[in-house]
């Protein structure tokens, strides 16, 4: 559990909060590159870290990320005209370029130099991995772009989706690193309803798109989570007993401050979730399927592209999901009785059903929880985030922000002899990206 104070400390990321300052030391994913597909296309609204911004692609193709409100009298630049190397406010015609400089002020006398004194808040952007990233911290501390293990892959080896999640970033992220929920929240059931629940779970085999069947998830329902501190965040080893002489290790990484990468047995497809606060009660999920060994299979991509078991259907023109907390994720009680633990269709919505709605609430009250053995990794990321934010308050900048190359470590899933430490046995796979 966390104290009320620590829970507020870790979940609040608006301007001026300690955790918000930590987030503002890193590049964060802002919009999909296709949301601003071409020069001079319509601007889009972006809510990030409790700030309202506008993204636009200028005539030269550069993406600007500026404050939503015009610095003149506050009109929204969402309604602006994006043309001739800048975004023009439609209230009185002031115009701003991607750097935030005011480049035209047509309602002021021609001899006025007022426009040279006015700027709009603007954040730098970088496009990598199909995503536009932005950096919202002090200009002189601009970090290195993290060399995430999927980010440099060719387009045919990755698939990126974005969702609006109606809860604080942390409780969504805690689900990503928690491997012990998989046979339950994402579990299937043997249809024989005369059997006890656990036996029905254990008779099934877990299978995700792009991955082979993985029997160990249901074989051992009480995995042990082991964490190793690293410069990029945490190395997470989930251990399950598969035979008398070996363990299965599901080896993931958690990257400061935003993402989890989850392993598969090579050459299967891997998964990453990036969680970014929109504000304290909403977050963005960027969900990436990626494969460092081979291009994604066309059948696999079909599964990612169409709503179904793995991804939910979006409400057209939004990143909100058709199955959501306001319709109980379209839970099907008959399916819950006969074929799946939750009765909820897609994996992302199974996660959200346990994270978002009342009484969990958009910011879970962690003074009320009871953490068990399997929650060691949850405690691990909380400690890491709180410590990094406290160190920053004392003037110690986060090491990871300025060492992008340390992020290129791969997750993996493999069996090892019981006596082999997982970080040793998996080293060859984990470091493979760094040797490419």
Q: Choosing among ligand FES, Fe ion, none, which partner's interface includes residue 70 (Cβ < 5 to 8 Å by kind)?
A: ligand FES
Nearer to ligand FES among residue 75 and residue 322 (C-beta): 75
Nearest Cα to 279, choosing from 1, 6, 15, 2? 15
Paired sense of beta strands 81-82 and 87-88, if any: antiparallel
Residue 97 contacts which entry, ligand FES, Fe ion, none (Cβ below 5-8 A, type-dependent): none
Picked from ligand FES, Fe ion, none, the partner binding residue 72 (CB below 5 to 8 A depending on kind) is: ligand FES
- Nearest approach, Cβ of residue 76 and ligand FES (Å): 9
The DSSP letter of residue 21 is: H
Q: How far is the CB of 141 from ligand FES (least distance, A)?
A: 30
Examine residue 174 and tell whether it contacts Fe ion (CB under 5 A): no
Phi, psi of 299 (to 5 degrees): -65, -35
CA 255, 259, 264, 269 dihedral sign is negative
State the nearest-atom distance from the C-beta of 255 to Fe ion, in Å: 18
Q: Which residues bind ligand FES (CB under 6 A)?
A: 70, 72-75, 89, 91-94
375-391 burial code (b ≥16 CB/10 A, e <16): bebbebbbebbbebbee
CB of 296 to Fe ion, least distance (A): 21
CB of 340 to Fe ion, least distance (A): 13
User: For 131, phi and psi rounded to 5 degrees?
Assistant: -125, 145
φ/ψ of 333, rounded to 5, equals -65, -30
Q: 40 or 351, CB closer to Fe ion?
A: 351
Q: 351 is in the binding site of which of ligand FES, Fe ion, none (Cβ under 5 to 8 A by kind)?
A: Fe ion
Q: Which does 75 bind (CB under 5 to 8 A by kind): Fe ion, ligand FES, none?
A: ligand FES
- Kindly tell me which of 109 and 298 has the beta carbon lying closer to ligand FES: 109
Separation between Cα atoms, residue 297 and residue 429, nearest integer Å = 22
> Torsions phi, psi of 172, nearest 5?
-70, -45
Taking the complex as a whole, how short is the minimal distance between the CB of residue 15 and ligand FES, in angstroms?
22
| Residue (87 or 385) nearer to ligand FES, CB | 87
Is 287 or 382 the residue whose CB approaches Fe ion more closely?
Answer: 287
Looking at the Cβ atoms of 58 and 178, the one nearer to Fe ion is: 178
Alpha helices in 156-206 (DSSP H): 169-177, 182-185, 197-202
Which of 147, 323 has the CB closer to Fe ion? 323
Task: Tell whether residue 351 is a contact of Fe ion (CB under 5 A).
Answer: yes
Q: Which does 73 bind (CB under 5 to 8 A by kind): ligand FES, Fe ion, none?
A: ligand FES
Place of tokens 């969990």: 360
Instruction: Find which of Fe ion, ligand FES, none residue 404 binds, CB within 5 to 8 Å per kind.
Output: none
178 binds Fe ion (CB under 5 A): no
The number of angstroms, rounded, from the C-alpha of 41 to the middle of its chain's C-alpha atoms is 26
Residue 423 phi/psi, 5-degree rounding, is -70, -25
Q: Which residue is nearest to Fe ion (CB)?
A: 351
8-state DSSP, 256: T
Total residue length of the chain:
436
CB of 36 to ligand FES, least distance (A): 21
Compute CA distances 63 → 18, 74, 76, 404, 408, whole Å.
Answer: 28, 22, 18, 22, 26
Angle between the 376-393 and 4-11 helix axes, to the nearest 10 degrees? 70
- In the complex with ligand FES, the residue whose CB is nearer, 70 or 98, is 70
Give the one entry of ligand FES, Fe ion, none that residue 81 binds, where binding means its C-beta sits below a cut-off of 5 to 8 angstroms depending on kind: none
Return residues touching Fe ion (CB under 5 A): 351
């Amino acid at each position: 559990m966390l104290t009320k104070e620590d829970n507020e400390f870790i979940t609040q990321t608006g301007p001026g909060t300690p955790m918000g300052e930590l987030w503002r030391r890193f590049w964060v994913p802002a919009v999909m590159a296709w949301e601003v597909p071409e020069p001079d296309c319509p601007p889009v609204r972006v809510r990030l870290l409790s700030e309202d911004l506008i993204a636009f692609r200028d005539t030269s193709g550069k993406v600007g990320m500026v404050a939503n409100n015009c610095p003149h009298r506050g009109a929204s630049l969402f309604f602006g005209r994006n043309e001739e190397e800048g975004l023009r406010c439609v209230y009185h015609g002031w115009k701003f370029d991607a750097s935030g400089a005011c480049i035209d002020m047509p309602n002021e006398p021609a001899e006025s130099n007022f426009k040279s004194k006015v700027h709009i808040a603007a954040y730098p952007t970088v496009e990598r991995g199909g995503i536009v990233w932005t950096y919202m911290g002090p200009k002189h501390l601009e970090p290195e772009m993290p060399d995430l293990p999927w980010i440099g892959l060719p387009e045919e080896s990755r698939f990126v989706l974005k969702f609006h999640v109606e809860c604080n970033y942390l409780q969504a992220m805690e689900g990503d690193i928690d491997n012990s929920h998989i046979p339950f929240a994402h579990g299937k059931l043997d249809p024989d309803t005369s059997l006890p629940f656990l036996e029905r779970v254990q008779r099934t085999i877990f299978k995700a798109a792009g991955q082979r069947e993985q029997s160990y998830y249901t074989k051992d329902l009480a995995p042990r989570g082991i964490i190793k501190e690293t410069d990029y965040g945490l190395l997470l080893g989930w251990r399950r007993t598969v035979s008398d002489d070996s363990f299965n290790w599901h080896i993931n990484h958690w990257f400061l401050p935003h993402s989890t990468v989850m392993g598969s047995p090579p050459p299967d497809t891997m998964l990453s979730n990036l969680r970014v606060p929109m504000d304290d009660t909403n977050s963005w999920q960027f969900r990436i399927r990626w494969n460092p060994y081979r291009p994604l299979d066309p059948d696999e991509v079909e599964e990612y592209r169409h709503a179904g078991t793995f991804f939910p259907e979006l409400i057209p023109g939004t990143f909100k999901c058709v199955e959501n907390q306001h319709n109980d994720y379209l839970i099907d009680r008959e399916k819950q009785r006969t074929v799946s633990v939750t009765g909820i269709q897609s994996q992302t919505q199974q996660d959200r059903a346990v994270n978002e709605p009342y009484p969990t609430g958009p910011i879970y009250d962690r003074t009320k929880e009871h953490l068990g053995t399997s929650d060691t990794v949850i405690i691990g990321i909380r400690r890491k985030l709180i410590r990094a934010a406290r160190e920053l308050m004392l003037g110690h900048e986060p090491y990871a922000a300025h060492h992008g190359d340390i992020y290129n470590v791969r997750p993996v899933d493999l069996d090892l002899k019981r006596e082999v430490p997982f970080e040793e046995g998996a080293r060859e796979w984990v470091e493979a990206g760094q040797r490419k």
